[in-house]
Amino acid sequence: MQTLATMIERVLPRLPRAAMAVVLLVLTLGAVLPAFTSLPPVDRDEARFAQATKQMVASGDPIDIRFQDGPRYQKPIGIYWLQAVALKAVGAAADTTIWKYRLVSLVAVLLSVLLTARIGAVFGGPGVGLAAGLLLAGVFLTTAEAHLATTDAALLAAVLLAQAALARLYLAARAGGFARGSFPAPGRGLLVLFWGGLAASVLLKGPVGPLVVGTTVAALALMHRRAGWLGALKPLAGGIGFLIVVLPWFVAITIHSGGAFWAQSVGHDLIAKVGSAQESHGAPPGSYLALLWLTFFPASVPLALSIPALWRGRGLPGIAFAAAWVVPSWIVFEASPTKLMHYTLPLYPALALAVALVWGGVVERGMARWQWAVGGLLAAVPVAVLIGAAGYAVTLGAWPVLPFVLALAVFGLGAALTRVALRQRRAVAALVGLWLMGAAFGAGLLLMLARVPALWPAPAMLALAQPTPVCPVRPIVTAFDEPSLVFLSPGPVRGGDSTAMADALAGNRCTVAVVADTGAFQAEAVAKGLTPVVLGQVRGMDLGRGKMAAFTVYALP
């Protein structure tokens, strides 16, 4: 391990920037590719996004967003366009191969790591950029979002585009004392990056991107009591360009939906989340801070070890920029009654930036006893999660032995490399060891979950509802009200109670009923003169009810 740590420290910081970028891409792929194709569609949001994209591609309508027969107006159009492009890029029509829809998130995470490294290089040179990229490359929440065909990874990349441009402007303006004409005006490319990233964030997730970028701008202006330098962003011309990109679809969907888009996206989704805990996702203020030490792992370890150094370096331009980026938005997210752990993801690159700026000095100074204790405690948390997940899998009838053992083994190697590197005071090698620990945790956890059939009942249901020569199309009426079944099924799927299921079988002999209450269904079937047979039983997680449930699959003989 000592030889490996020495070699890493000698080679990586001396690489050309292009080679550093390649290393970051390879390490990020190493963290996110395990389970990328094997993890089934995750209920509920991922399956809803993927199904809506599938329907958009099938219909050829790039304006409206539909989930089955109803509108899906919770989020704007951006993610559906990007997923449709990804499908065409891999030569696929809309199909049920979920990893193809996840390609957008994978590419967005790769881009986010490179942009984080770029921002780090702006404030501290290539070495700090490499450290910032390494810190983000193995973060658990980043890895998890790369596996989901949702908006959050793409939003992260869009926010980073704008923040990368803002970082360049801020550093130049600060060096010139924020006086007009004392720093070079940003070029057209930088302005396109800022306003384009902002526009993309709006098309992806509405006001979240402008919230993060806007509060950063406001905090920087208040921090230095100077706002004139922000005129270099050309707000008039940039704002017009922003509207040119954003307005056409919003106008089109307003006309197409008769205003229903705004009622659902703003009235039902946004205001409901701000006003109360939506969909039982409530948590008290401070919850994100408590979760940070796991969701930001392994970067949470150097973050904790660097807290005194961060305070001492609070006047550094990069740390000031990171604080303006994190603090106001974090307060807003903590104050919101609705909390989901991915909401704070756009703030994680700022934490990585701040840590990267001081990490070299922290390691060079040597680890105090309290730092070893805190680092060991934080490293024990993901190990406990892995053990708990393995135990839970066993209770559900699965034995994911191989991913569990491999995850612990790789985690141990990473911990050993990190320990040796810290003792040798080799900062970059320690970050590589931490990345290995993070990759082992994220990949191991996801690979284990992918091997627990009870968590993914939809494939088992569809295996029982296979088409036959007599019934090439098998409509499904189901009590399992989860979007993954809709996405994976080659035929139509609709929900219904026992009466609706019996009516569906009476109306179409090829129908398959997925039943939760067998007694009520059988009574309805007998009343209609039907004699359905049992194709099989499936026990699995019903997220709609938040518990494990048993389902019986029926069809007519």
Residue 542: what pLDDT?
87
- The token pair at 170 is 């801020």
Residue 6 falls within a domain, yes or no? no
User: Using CA atoms, how far apart are residues 479 and 495, in angstroms rounded to an integer?
Assistant: 6
The answer to whether 276 touches 337, Cβ cutoff 8 Å, is yes
SS3 478: strand
Residue 245 falls within a domain, yes or no? yes
Please tell me whether residues 187 and 315 are part of one structural domain: yes
**Which among 317, 339, 358 is the end of a domain?**
358
The upper half-sphere exposure of residue 285, i.e. CA atoms within 13 Å in the direction of its Cβ, equals: 6
Residue 267 falls within a domain, yes or no? yes
User: Using CA atoms, how far apart are residues 37 and 25, in angstroms rounded to an integer?
Assistant: 19
**How many CB atoms within 10 Å of residue 304?**
18
Residue 222 falls within a domain, yes or no? yes
**Which among 303, 326, 358 is the end of a domain?**
358
Tell me the β-bridge partners of 513. 477, 554
The answer to whether 323 touches 345, Cβ cutoff 8 Å, is no
User: Using CA atoms, how far apart are residues 424 and 367, in angstroms rounded to an integer?
Assistant: 10
For residue 206, what are the contacts with CB-CB under 8 A and spacing of at least 6? Answer: 75, 76, 265, 270
For residue 20, give the H/E element and its range: helix 17-32
**How many CB atoms within 10 Å of residue 357?**
25
User: Using CA atoms, how far apart are residues 350 and 497, in angstroms rounded to an integer?
Assistant: 49
- The token pair at 160 is 């980073």
For residue 424, what are the contacts with CB-CB under 8 A and spacing of at least 6? Answer: 2, 5, 6, 9
Residue 179: what pLDDT?
85
The answer to whether 37 touches 99, Cβ cutoff 8 Å, is yes
The amino acid that residue 261 corresponds to is: F
> What interhelical angle do 518-527 and 498-507 show, nearest 10?
40
Q: Please give the biggest Cα pair distance in the chain.
A: 87
Tell me the β-bridge partners of 536. 553
Please tell me whether residues 460 and 353 are part of one structural domain: no
User: Using CA atoms, how far apart are residues 444 and 438, in angstroms rounded to an integer?
Assistant: 10
Task: Give the count of domains, the chain.
Answer: 2
Mean pLDDT rounded to a whole number for the chain: 94
pLDDT in tens, 264-312: 888 666 665 565 455 556 689 999 999 999 999 999 999 999 999 999 9
Please tell me whether residues 228 and 115 are part of one structural domain: yes
Please tell me whether residues 284 and 173 are part of one structural domain: yes
Place of tokens 């989340």: 273
Please tell me whether residues 231 and 337 are part of one structural domain: yes
Residue 190 falls within a domain, yes or no? yes
Strand order in the sheet with 476-478: 493-495, 476-478, 512-515, 547-555, 533-542
pLDDT of the chain along its 557 residues, tens only? 899 999 999 999 999 999 999 999 999 999 999 999 999 999 889 999 999 999 999 999 999 999 999 999 999 999 999 999 999 999 877 789 999 999 999 999 999 999 999 999 999 999 999 999 999 999 999 999 999 999 999 999 999 999 999 999 999 999 999 887 888 889 999 999 999 999 999 999 999 999 999 999 999 999 999 999 999 999 999 999 999 999 999 999 999 999 999 988 886 666 655 654 555 566 899 999 999 999 999 999 999 999 999 999 999 999 999 999 999 999 999 999 988 999 999 999 999 999 999 999 999 999 999 999 999 999 999 999 999 999 999 999 999 999 999 999 999 999 999 999 999 999 999 999 999 999 999 999 999 999 999 999 999 999 999 999 999 999 999 999 899 999 999 999 999 999 999 999 999 999 999 999 999 999 999 999 999 999 999 999 988 777 899 999 999 99
Residue 83: what pLDDT?
97
The answer to whether 449 touches 38, Cβ cutoff 8 Å, is no
Global pTM? 0.96
Residue 462 falls within a domain, yes or no? yes
Residue 145 falls within a domain, yes or no? yes
**Which among 358, 379, 409 is the end of a domain?**
358
The answer to whether 483 touches 44, Cβ cutoff 8 Å, is yes
For residue 302, give the H/E element and its range: helix 300-305
Task: State the DSSP string of 399-449.
Answer: --HHHHHHHHHHHHHHHHHHHHHHHTT-HHHHHHHHHHHHHHHHHHHHHHH
For residue 303, give the H/E element and its range: helix 300-305
Please tell me whether residues 117 and 237 are part of one structural domain: yes
- The token pair at 522 is 């059988």
Please tell me whether residues 470 and 350 are part of one structural domain: no
Domain that residue 221 falls in = 17-358
Please tell me whether residues 471 and 348 are part of one structural domain: no
Task: State the DSSP string of 504-536.
Answer: HHHH-TT-EEEES-HHHHHHHHHHTT---EEEE
Q: Is the dihedral of CA 144, 293, 453, 511 positive or negative?
A: negative
SS3 348: helix
Residue 422 falls within a domain, yes or no? no
User: Using CA atoms, how far apart are residues 297 and 295, in angstroms rounded to an integer?
Assistant: 6
